[in-house]
């Protein structure tokens, strides 16, 4: 079932200011690249080039064929679409990627063990792997804000009135009215998200048509995910069972990067994707298996701890 709530994105009003992109980072305490050269100019105002474990929302810029020396840009909104039929949820074996009570899709970090199946299953390429936490990350539709009677952070920041939030049925009605209003100026205008993937939790007004705003015209769950979902119904049927196993094996490959080392808990740095906050030093170590150079680092950390203790002793003596 589609979510009961939705974000409305009106690309005909968007100015590409990226206030929403920054607000998402700010609320979710997601760091931006700081080093020179981490985000090189790509010839477009779109930055960064793609979403990541630290960027859950990105405004996309696509230039439309210039008319009479005008530059026209089709803005897009790249973040989780909160699909009704969400393949990311159906492939998640730990229950981390789940439907919330309002029908949005969120990832419970405490349950995610970094298998990356949701990343492989998403047709919109929304969840991303956070290298520091070794977990999948994406927009949660600001569940923490909604639970406290607030609206999504990105929506609050939009001064161009290009974002709205409310009951999904109201957002669809509003989008359809707006599309009618601008139809004479934008004959290719489309309301996107009403039916895709069973109905999305992000409804978009796209004046130049879905494709121009980088939306998939007919998004589908990957075929192998669909076969994987058929497994319970084909249990005992040899050929189809074998296909299902092949599907899971394939997804394992696509969820790639899957290796023993990727499950290794970062015991040295103990930082998270939440702005590099130190983790609870007493948190249980999930799995050890440090690489050689990290073992060397660990020794250095232990050595420096001894130095600190020694100097503490000296201070006490001096006291």
Q: Which spans of this chain sit near ligand SF4 (rule: CB under 6 A)? A: 14-20, 23-24, 27-28, 56-57, 59, 75, 79-83, 86-88, 105, 122, 124, 126-127, 138-142, 152-154, 157-158, 160, 162-163
* Shorter beta-carbon distance to ligand SF4: residue 71 or 239: 71
CA 7-11-15 angle, to 5 degrees, is 110
Q: Nearest distance from residue 264's CB to ligand SF4, in Å?
A: 25
Question: Which residues partner with 67 through β-bridges?
Answer: 70
Q: Nearest distance from residue 261's CB to ligand SF4, in Å?
A: 25
* Shorter beta-carbon distance to ligand SF4: residue 214 or 270: 214
DSSP state of 195: S
* Nearest-angstrom CA–CA distance, 80 and 57: 8
Rounded to the nearest 10°, the torsion over CA 267, 108, 193, 32 is -30
* Shorter beta-carbon distance to ligand SF4: residue 127 or 207: 127
Q: Nearest distance from residue 317's CB to ligand SF4, in Å?
A: 52
**Sole residue written with tokens 């229950």:** 95
Q: Nearest distance from residue 105's CB to ligand SF4, in Å?
A: 4
* Shorter beta-carbon distance to ligand SF4: residue 65 or 161: 161
* Shorter beta-carbon distance to ligand SF4: residue 96 or 264: 96
Question: Which residues partner with 278 through β-bridges?
Answer: 271
Contact 153, 24 (CB under 8 A): yes
Which residues contact residue 288 at a Cβ distance below 8 angstroms, ignoring those fewer than 6 apart?
A: 264, 265, 267
Q: Nearest distance from residue 160's CB to ligand SF4, in Å?
A: 4
């Amino acid at each position: 079932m589609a979510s009961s709530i939705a974000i409305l994105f009106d690309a005909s009003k968007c100015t590409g200011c990226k206030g929403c992109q920054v607000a998402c980072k700010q609320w979710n305490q997601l760091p931006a690249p700081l080093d020179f050269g981490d985000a090189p100019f790509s010839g477009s105002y779109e930055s960064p080039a793609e979403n990541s474990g630290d960027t859950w929302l990105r405004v996309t810029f696509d230039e439309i064929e210039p008319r009479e020396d005008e530059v026209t840009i089709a803005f897009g909104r790249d973040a989780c679409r909160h699909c009704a039929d969400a393949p990311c949820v159906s492939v998640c074996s730990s229950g981390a990627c789940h439907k919330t009570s309002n029908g949005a899709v969120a990832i419970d970090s405490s349950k995610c063990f970094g298998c990356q199946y949701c990343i492989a299953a998403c047709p919109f390429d929304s969840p991303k792997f956070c290298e520091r936490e070794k977990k999948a990350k994406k927009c949660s539709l600001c569940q923490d804000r909604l639970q406290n009677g607030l609206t999504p952070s990105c929506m609050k920041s939009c001064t161009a009135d290009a974002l709205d939030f409310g009951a999904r049925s109201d957002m669809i009605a509003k989008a359809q009215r707006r599309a009618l209003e601008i139809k004479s100026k934008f004959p290719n205008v489309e309301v996107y998200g009403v039916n895709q993937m069973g109905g999305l939790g992000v409804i978009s007004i796209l004046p130049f048509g879905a494709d121009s705003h980088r939306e998939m015209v007919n998004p589908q769950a990957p075929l192998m995910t669909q076969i994987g979902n058929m497994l319970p119904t084909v249990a005992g049927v040899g050929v189809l069972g074998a296909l299902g196993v092949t599907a899971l094996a394939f997804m394992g490959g696509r969820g790639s990067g899957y290796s023993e080392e990727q499950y290794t808990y970062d015991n040295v740095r103990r930082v998270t994707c939440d702005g590099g906050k130190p983790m609870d030093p007493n948190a249980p170590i999930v799995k050890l298996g440090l690489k050689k150079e990290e073992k060397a680092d660990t020794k250095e950390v232990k050595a420096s701890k001894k130095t600190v203790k020694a100097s503490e002793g000296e201070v006490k003596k001096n006291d």
